[in-house]
């Protein structure tokens, strides 16, 4: 594989750190590496392949020699700097929501629509974490029998709100253990006015309010899933919920298929699908749980049951590491394909 010059924008964030780790683990062919972040984080040192790199401030010339830039610093940074990077000749793999619904930007989960990567015009969007996990699990079912409708309820880890939210949960645990009051400044949404403790709590709000009483996170799951499957007839509704878990998302997924798929057939499909691991033995108490999937690349799928309320229905329970497959790994997989396409 041709070695490329890589930049990571937002290198010090939860996803940025994981990107570095995954590039190393997967022996991504890095020729040169540039770590970029806001001024606040500039000067920090991070290590990659036993070498130390200093985080630099983003500016227009930083992208000059870069082939692939992974952006993971939020929508505003992507909107400002991704076009600059593209103009400098970079391929941008953007983890923010800035360009996901742009019709000219491919939105990619490699297990689902890898072929879209080649259509890019400089930017490839990495979907929302809960969308990636859902789409990867639905893909083998979709291909086998078609899907009419999906009802999904999520159990999302605090890592989705970044390092500070993980620290907040950690601090709340320690405060509780010391009989101190719990303080909350980050969740559910840092920029909004009200914050609630997440320890011993469940918060049915992720991201800011959107249309029709849905949060933006819920719309992301609905609209991004349709775009990834390139199927705007795929009906989907979502309720997205934060739970006091560190870094792996779970989803309770009800699927109405177009044709009958038995539980045995579904298990067989899941067990053979790329990116998935079948963990489904209730009698042996084996099912996906966040404590088991944290740090894992595969999305675990289990609790597969016939939905007895429908002619052609299935219930699934899925869990996947939000920072890895839900963000950094998916972006690196896209990057690997970009390199293949360069050849």
According to CB under 8 A, which one of 24, 231, 265, 307 is a site residue for a copy of itself? 307
Q: Which stretch binds a copy of itself (CB under 8 A): 17-25, 71-79, 94-102, 314-322?
A: 314-322
Q: What CA–CA distance (Å, rounded) separates 125 from 12?
A: 20
Three-state DSSP class for 109?
coil
User: What crossing angle do the helices spanning 329-342 and 14-25 adopt, rounded to 10°?
Assistant: 50
Q: What CA–CA distance (Å, rounded) separates 60 from 43?
A: 18
249 is an active site residue: yes
Q: Is 153 in the site for a copy of itself (CB under 8 A)?
A: yes
**Catalytic pick from 120, 135, 249, 266?**
249
Q: Which stretch binds a copy of itself (CB under 8 A): 40-48, 138-146, 309-317, 328-336?
A: 309-317
According to CB under 8 A, which one of 289, 296, 297, 312 is a site residue for a copy of itself? 289
Q: What CA–CA distance (Å, rounded) separates 223 from 135?
A: 12
Could you tell me which residues come within 8 angstroms of residue 143 by beta carbon, excluding any fewer than 6 positions away?
A: none
Q: Is 245 in the site for a copy of itself (CB under 8 A)?
A: yes
How far from 342 is each of 32, 91, 94, 283, CA to CA, in Å?
Answer: 17, 11, 18, 49
How far from 19 is each of 95, 100, 118, 242, 288, CA to CA, in Å?
Answer: 11, 19, 22, 23, 24
Q: Is 239 in the site for a copy of itself (CB under 8 A)?
A: yes
- CA–centroid distance for 274 within its chain: 17
Q: Is the sign of the CA dihedral 330, 335, 341, 343 positive or negative? A: negative
| Structure token digits, residue 11 | 């290198």
CB of 311 to a copy of itself, least distance (A): 10
CB of 185 to a copy of itself, least distance (A): 14
User: What crossing angle do the helices spanning 263-272 and 129-145 adopt, rounded to 10°?
Assistant: 120
Question: What is the H or E stretch that residue 238 is in?
Answer: strand 235-239
Q: Is 309 in the site for a copy of itself (CB under 8 A)?
A: yes
Instruction: Work out the burial of residue 153: count CB atoms within 10 Å of its CB; fewer than 13 is exposed, 13-18 middle, 19 or more buried.
Output: middle
61 is an active site residue: no
**Catalytic pick from 90, 129, 250, 266?**
129
According to CB under 8 A, which one of 243, 268, 312, 339 is a site residue for a copy of itself? 243
CB of 312 to a copy of itself, least distance (A): 13
Q: Map residues 190-229 to x or -, x wherever contact with a copy of itself holds by CB under 8 A.
A: --xxx-xx-xxxxxxx---x--xxxx------x-------
Pick between residue 28 and residue 142 the one whose CB is nearest to a copy of itself. Answer: 142
According to CB under 8 A, which one of 27, 45, 61, 177 is a site residue for a copy of itself? 177
Q: What CA–CA distance (Å, rounded) separates 62 from 232?
A: 39
Q: Write out the residues near a copy of itself by the rule CB under 8 A.
A: 149-151, 153, 155, 169, 173-174, 176-178, 188, 192-194, 196-197, 199-205, 209, 212-215, 222, 235-237, 239, 241, 243-246, 250, 252, 254, 263, 282-285, 287-291, 302-310, 313, 315, 317, 319
Active site (catalytic) residues: 129, 249
């Amino acid at each position: 594989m041709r070695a490329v010059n890589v930049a990571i924008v937002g290198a010090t964030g939860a996803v940025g750190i994981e990107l570095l780790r995954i590039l190393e683990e997967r022996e991504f062919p890095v020729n040169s590496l540039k770590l970029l972040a806001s001024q606040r984080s500039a000067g920090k040192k991070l290590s990659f392949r036993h070498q130390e790199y200093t985080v630099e401030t983003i500016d227009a010339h930083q992208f000059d020699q870069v082939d692939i830039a992974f952006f993971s610093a939020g929508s505003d940074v992507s909107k400002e700097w991704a076009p600059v990077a593209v103009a400098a000749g970079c391929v941008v793999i953007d983890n923010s929501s800035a360009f996901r619904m742009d019709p000219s930007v491919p939105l990619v989960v490699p297990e689902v629509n890898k072929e879209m990567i080649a259509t890019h015009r400089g930017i490839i969007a990495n979907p929302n974490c809960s969308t990636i996990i859902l789409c990867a699990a639905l893909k083998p079912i979709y291909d086998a029998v078609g899907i009419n409708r999906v009802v999904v309820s999520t159990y999302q880890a605090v890592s989705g709100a970044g390092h500070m939210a993980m620290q907040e949960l950690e601090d709340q645990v320690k405060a509780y253990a010391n009989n101190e009051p719990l303080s909350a400044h980050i969740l559910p949404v840092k920029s909004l006015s009200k914050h609630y403790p997440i320890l011993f709590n469940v918060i049915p709000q992720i991201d800011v309010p959107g249309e029709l009483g849905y949060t933006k996170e819920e719309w992301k799951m609905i609209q991004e899933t349709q775009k990834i499957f390139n199927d705007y007839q795929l009906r989907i509704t979502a309720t997205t919920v934060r739970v006091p878990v560190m870094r792996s998302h779970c989803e309770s997924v009800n699927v109405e298929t177009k044709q009958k798929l038995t539980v045995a057939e579904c298990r067989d499909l899941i067990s053979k699908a790329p990116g998935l691991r079948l963990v489904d033995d209730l009698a042996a108490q084996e099912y996906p749980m966040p404590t088991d999937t944290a740090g894992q690349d595969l999305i675990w799928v289990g609790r597969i049951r016939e939905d007895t309320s429908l002619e052609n229905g299935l219930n699934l329970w899925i869990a996947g590491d939000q920072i890895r497959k839900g963000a950094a790994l998916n972006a690196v997989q896209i990057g690997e394909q970009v390199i293949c396409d360069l050849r």
